[in-house]
């Protein structure tokens, strides 16, 4: 594994880098998985959030907002786009949905022989992306006692755009 696997739910799920606990998973909870492996010396890093049983309209709205933010930022990845444009693309969608105060971390980070490398995708970093750079796109919304949702993919910048290295589906999975 490239870092200690994180599985968060309930109150813990609303803490972006919480510590796994012994809380049993309850119906109506979202469950966040953040994990990765090392392959030929290089790290991967993926986050998916699933629903256990029926979730509320607000939880669904939070999930849809994070997914929209993630997809919109991904679609902008190409040589010449700045780190801050990518971060702000996701951040503006989350802010417009009313959750701006609940996205407390950067959009993503470089990925390589270490799980956290440069470039850092923050809302102030003017660095321009270049072909061959590999980084994560991982917006999240964490509302205490309501929901913690993060969706994370690994991407590589290509000649004209990007390729997603993580292929697991992102449509909301409801586990019954
Ligand atoms: Mn990550």
Confidence check: pLDDT of 24 > 80: yes
Separation of CA 110 and ligand 1 centre (Å): 9
Separation of CA 153 and ligand 1 centre (Å): 8
Chain mean pLDDT for the chain? 94
Residue-level pLDDT at 10:
73
Residue list, CB under 5 A from ion ligand 1: 45, 136
User: In 3D, which of 111, 109, 94 has the Cα closest to residue 147?
Assistant: 94
Separation of CA 160 and ligand 1 centre (Å): 24
Separation of CA 26 and ligand 1 centre (Å): 26
Separation of CA 89 and ligand 1 centre (Å): 18
Confidence check: pLDDT of 12 > 70: no
Cα–Cα distance between 25 and 146 in angstroms, integer? 14
Residue-level pLDDT at 19:
73
Please give the share of the chain, as a percent, with pLDDT higher than 70: 97
Separation of CA 69 and ligand 1 centre (Å): 16
Separation of CA 116 and ligand 1 centre (Å): 7
Separation of CA 50 and ligand 1 centre (Å): 17
Separation of CA 156 and ligand 1 centre (Å): 14
Separation of CA 109 and ligand 1 centre (Å): 7
Separation of CA 45 and ligand 1 centre (Å): 5
Query: The whole model's pTM is what?
Result: 0.95
Residue 145: Cβ within 10 Å count:
7
Q: Are 59 and 10 in contact (CB under 8 A)?
A: no
169-173, long-range: CB < 8 A, 24+ apart: 170/48, 170/67, 170/70, 170/71, 172/50, 172/51, 172/60, 172/63, 172/64, 172/67, 173/48, 173/50, 173/51
Give mean pLDDT, residues 138-156: 95
């Amino acid at each position: 594994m490239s870092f200690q696997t994180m599985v968060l739910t309930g109150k813990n799920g609303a803490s972006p880098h919480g510590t796994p606990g012994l809380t049993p998973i309850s119906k109506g909870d979202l469950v966040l998985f953040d994990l990765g492996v090392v392959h030929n010396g290089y790290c991967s890093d993926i986050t998916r959030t699933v629903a256990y049983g029926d979730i509320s309209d607000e939880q669904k709205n939070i999930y849809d907002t994070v997914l929209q933010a993630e997809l919109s930022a991904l679609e902008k990845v190409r040589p010449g786009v700045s780190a801050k444009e990518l971060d702000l693309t996701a951040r503006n969608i989350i802010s417009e949905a009313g959750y701006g105060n609940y996205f407390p971390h950067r959009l993503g980070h470089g990925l390589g022989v270490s799980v956290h490398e440069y470039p850092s995708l923050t809302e102030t970093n003017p660095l321009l992306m270049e072909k061959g750079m590999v980084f994560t796109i991982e917006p999240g919304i964490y509302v205490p006692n309501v929901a913690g949702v993060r969706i994370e993919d690994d991407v590589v910048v290509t000649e004209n755009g990007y390729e997603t290295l993580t292929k697991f589906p992102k449509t909301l999975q409801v586990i019954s």
